[in-house]
Structure 1
Amino acid sequence: MPLPLRTQVDQGKTLVIACVYAATLMVAYVEARPENEADASLGVD
């Protein structure tokens, strides 16, 4: 039996929030690293 539309919408919102949260953590982690490490990983001289 398929889930009610409301439940599907709630699950979709939860998934979007989780993705945004994960992306925010990744950005914060990259910005928190020392500059020389970030430059080396990007191949910038």
Structure 2
Amino acid sequence: MKASFPIAYADAFAAALAQKHDCALVTGDPELRAVDRLNIHWIGR
């Protein structure tokens, strides 16, 4: 994930974990907008 998208290490870890377990990533981090491979539930907008 980190190699494909310009995101922080912790964000890449969370994204990869969500992808591996086929679940949504719940976040408010705008950095993750670049990741189009995930089901993301946005909070705090």
Which category describes the TM-score, using the shorter chain as reference length?
0.3 to 0.5
The TM-score normalised by the length of structure 2 is: 0.36
The TM-score normalised by the length of structure 1 is: 0.36
The structure where strand makes up a greater share of residues is 2
The structure where helix makes up a greater share of residues is 1
